[in-house]
Amino acid sequence: MSFGPESILNNTFNYIDTIGTGGFGRAYLAKTKKDDKKVVIKEIDLSKMDKKMKEYIVREGFLLSLLEHPNIIDFKEYYYTRKIAYITMDYADGGDLDMKIKKQKKIDEKFPEEFVIQWFLEICEAIKYIHDQGVVHRDLKPKNIFLTEDGHVKLGDLGIAKDLSNEISVAKTAIGTQPYLSPEIIEGKPYNYSTDIWDLGVILYEMIELKHPFISLSPTKMFYNIINVKYEPIEDSQYQQQLIDLVPQFLKKEPKERINLSEVIKILKELQDTRKNNNNENEKYPDYYLRRSAIFEIHNNNNENNGHIRRTISKKYENGDKYDGEVIDDMKDGKGVMQYIGGNKYDGEWKNDKKEGKGTFIYKSGSQYLGEFKNNVKDGKGVFIYKNGDRYEGNFKNGLKSGKGIKYFKNGDKYDGDWEEDDYNGNGVFYYNNGDRYDGEFKGGVKEGTGTFFYADGKSKKGKWENDEFIEE
């Protein structure tokens, strides 16, 4: 592909790649002809837009031209014709935070604490800056938070940001991405800068737990969870309690009760100082995340393996992780034990430097998984024993419960049926410890669809269910 032979971009830029497409245009990666620097160019088709959408595009270019901060994407140029608008800005060459979270989830490994603190501190400093300029972002999410190759944050996508500097600090237009909407926006109430504070809490939770606190396959349930601030508390964690305790201070239903950003920044800097004092050195976050190296202590236990050397080694990473086991050509292959600095531990089979085969993963919290792994994540048949005594036996796919499985609850309840995305989805039976039983369809972990509820006294009701509630015969 290219810009096209008639594009005015050909005069100034060399096309590299098309990195995004949407209903209103494309995003290109390009290099400037003048100094050979990489930039991102948004090409937006104005002819398909109504007046309101055009105002959003104009606003993004205008806002970017006014904002200047080390953790906000640098604006380059903004120009347009009658039919097409172009916004050029710096290229963040480290990808986005959403991509990083998904990568860590796939390998079932949480971020080192210093990454979370540094990234989140820079995100908060960028948001505080735009708030000080009278601007609320309104669409904060990991996909809009970019990273540079040297590991610093760049906040982007300000297209739906709203300038509140000349208003009474309240907006009414409901806009944003569904899982990140604050309770006040879902309920159609006026909102202000505090809607961004809510989003920061969601993002911090994701950075720590590698999953969204409110997401559900059922939008109704998701909105219910957001409005009622219902999410799983962070328990299985390798992080300092002060960092974990920030999450519920962001996720307050009442906007005026949410934590102040100046206070957050102060706490995060104190946590950084604590880490530096404990380690007796100044940690530089990107050094081992982007260029992670290992120190090897080789034992005299070498065997030939189809022309390659199999050895038993101790392998210590600079961040404190340690591997004891078999390798082929310095890649984990065979049986081995990985002790993670955060307290987690894997004991099992490896292939091509990844968890592959049967193994046991023991979490710092006390939870553990015994079963099959594929491509570094839980995949196949396995048993997950929860810290609280609950137990799941069944199938996993890409690290999540998926397929047929049974969950035994400590209180005597039991679910036997279909799973998808780590939750009840499909047909199943839920047995209650009082003798009641539901046999039918589930979605997003709740009764949804057609099913029958059998009471312990012999009575029953059959019909349609929605969000765990019976709605009609």
Cβ burial 313-341 (10 Å sphere, 16+ → b, else e): bebbbeeebebbbbbbeeebbbbbebbbe
**Res 349: pLDDT:** 93
The dotted CATH code for 8-90 is: 3.30.200.20
Token pair for 374: 């594929």
> What is the average pLDDT across 213-241?
86
CATH superfamily, with its number, for domain 97-279? Transferase(Phosphotransferase) domain 1 (1.10.510.10)
Averaged pLDDT score across all residues of the chain: 82
Q: At which residue do the structure tokens 């120009």 appear?
A: 79
User: What pTM was computed for the model?
Assistant: 0.59
> What is the average pLDDT across 225-250?
90
For residue 366, give Cα distances in angstroms to 206, 343, 411, 414: 21, 10, 19, 22
Question: Is 139 annotated in the active site?
Answer: yes
Cβ burial 36-61 (10 Å sphere, 16+ → b, else e): eeebbbbbbebeebeeeeeebbebbb
Highest mean pLDDT among 6-20, 59-73, 163-177, 359-373: 359-373
The pLDDT of residue 161 is above 60: no
Taking the C-alpha atoms of residue 305 and residue 311, their distance in angstroms, rounded to an integer, is 10
Read off the pLDDT band of 108 (50, 70, 90): confident
Model confidence over 1-56: pLDDT tens digits? Answer: 566 655 777 788 888 988 877 666 788 888 888 888 888 888 878 777 777 777 76
Q: At which residue do the structure tokens 């606190």 appear?
A: 213
Residues of the chain with CATH 1.10.510.10: 97-279
Which residues, other chains included, contact 132 with Cβ-Cβ below 8 Å and sequence gap of 6+? none
Residues of the chain with CATH 3.30.200.20: 8-90
DSSP per-residue letters across 396-453: EETTEEEEEEEEE-TTS-EEEEEEETTEEEEEEEEE-TTS-EEEEEEETTEEEEEEEE
> What is the average pLDDT across 444-451?
90
Q: How many CB atoms lie within 10 A of CB 68?
A: 11
Read off the pLDDT band of 236 (50, 70, 90): low
Higher pLDDT, 424 or 137: 424
Read off the pLDDT band of 201 (50, 70, 90): very high
Q: What percent of the chain has pLDDT over 70?
A: 82
Taking the C-alpha atoms of residue 159 and residue 126, their distance in angstroms, rounded to an integer, is 16
Query: 90, 96, 139, 196: which is the annotated catalytic residue?
Result: 139
Model confidence over 252-301: pLDDT tens digits? Answer: 999 999 999 999 999 999 998 887 776 544 444 333 333 332 222 333 34
